[in-house]
C-alpha cells in the first residue's frame, strides 16, 4: 500500500523496481490524493509499469489532499473489505526512499510478528543523501517521541512498515487524531495500547532523487501540533 501525492516520477520508478521482486499473490494499492489533472497521469504511468505482468495493481483516490494518514486508512479499509483473507498489509512511501529489496525484507519478515518497522536507526541501517536539516529533525522526533510515550522503538516515524490483519483491525477500530505523516507515530501508540510492540528491521534509506519533497514547513508545524494531540490522547 503506497500513499501518494503528485508523484509522477518517483512512484513509477519505485514500482519498476518492485515489480521485479513481488509475486502474483501480492496486491499493490496506490492511495493517491493527487489533483484530478495529475491523477490520470499517475494512474497511466503506474499501469504502464504493470502492463504485461501477471501482477495486481489497484488505486484508491480521494477528491482532495487528505494527508498521508488518511490515505493509509482508506487503503486499509478497502483492502480488508475486498480481500478479507489477506495475511499482511505493508505500507511504503512513494518517493523512492525505500528500496524494493528492503520492502521485500520487511514484507517477508517472521510471520509471528504483528508489527514490523523498517528502521533507519539500527546500527546496521544507513541513510544516504538526506540534508542535515532533515536528519536533525528526524533525530529529534525519534529521540523525544519514544521517551515521551514510553515506546520501545528507535524509528517511530519511518513509513516502511508491515501490519498483520489483526493489527490493521485494531488501528481501524480507533478514531484517527492526525491525518498527516505523524499518523505513523499514532499507529505505534494505538498498537502499544493493546500490547502490540514493533520489531525493527535494518534498512538503507535513500533521499529522493526524483520529484519534489512534500514535507514542507507547514507539514513540520502540523506534526508538532499532532504530537500535542497524541500527548492529550495517549500519555497517561
CATH number of the domain bearing residue 6: 3.90.550.10
pLDDT, tens digit only, all 236 positions of the chain? 999 998 999 999 999 999 999 999 999 999 999 988 899 999 999 999 999 999 999 999 998 888 889 999 999 999 999 999 999 999 999 999 999 999 999 999 988 899 999 999 999 999 998 888 888 888 888 888 888 888 889 999 999 999 999 999 999 999 998 888 889 999 999 999 999 999 999 999 998 677 566 555 566 666 667 676 777 767 55
115-119 and 161-164 beta bridge pairing: antiparallel
| Domain count of the fold of the chain | 1
Which grid coordinates belong to 105?
525484507
Q: For residue 62, give its domain range.
A: 2-234
Alpha helices in the chain (DSSP H): 10-18, 36-50, 68-82, 100-107, 132-149, 165-173, 183-193, 217-234
pTM attached to this predicted model: 0.89
Amino acid at each position: 500500500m503506497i500513499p501518494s501525492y503528485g508523484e509522477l516520477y518517483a512512484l513509477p520508478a519505485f514500482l519498476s523496481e518492485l515489480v521485479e521482486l513481488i509475486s502474483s499473490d501480492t496486491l499493490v494499492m496506490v492511495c493517491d490524493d493527487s489533483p484530478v489533472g495529475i491523477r490520470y497521469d499517475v494512474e497511466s504511468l503506474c499501469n504502464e509499469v504493470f502492463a504485461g505482468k501477471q501482477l495486481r495493481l489497484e488505486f484508491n483516490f480521494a477528491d482532495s489532499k487528505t494527508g498521508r494518514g488518511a490515505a493509509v486508512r482508506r487503503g486499509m479499509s478497502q483492502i480488508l473489505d475486498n480481500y478479507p483473507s489477506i495475511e499482511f498489509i505493508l505500507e511504503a512511501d512513494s518517493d523512492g526512499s525505500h528500496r524494493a529489496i528492503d520492502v521485500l525484507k520487511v514484507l517477508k519478515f517472521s510471520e509471528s510478528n504483528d508489527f514490523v518497522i523498517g528502521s533507519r536507526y539500527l546500527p546496521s541501517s544507513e541513510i544516504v543523501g538526506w540534508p542535515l536539516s532533515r536528519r536533525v529533525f528526524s533525530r529529534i522526533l525519534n529521540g523525544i517521541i519514544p521517551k515521551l510515550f514510553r515506546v520501545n522503538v528507535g524509528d517511530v516515524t519511518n513509513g516502511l512498515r508491515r501490519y498483520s490483519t489483526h493489527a490493521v483491525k485494531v488501528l481501524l477500530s480507533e478514531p484517527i487524531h492526525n491525518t498527516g505523516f505523524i499518523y505513523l507515530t499514532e499507529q505505534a501508540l494505538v498498537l502499544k495500547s493493546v500490547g502490540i510492540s514493533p520489531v525493527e528491521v535494518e534498512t538503507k534509506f535513500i533521499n529522493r532523487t526524483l520529484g519534489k519533497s512534500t514535507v514542507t514547513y507547514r507539514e513540520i508545524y502540523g506534526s508538532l501540533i499532532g504530537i500535542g494531540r497524541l500527548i492529550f490522547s495517549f500519555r497517561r
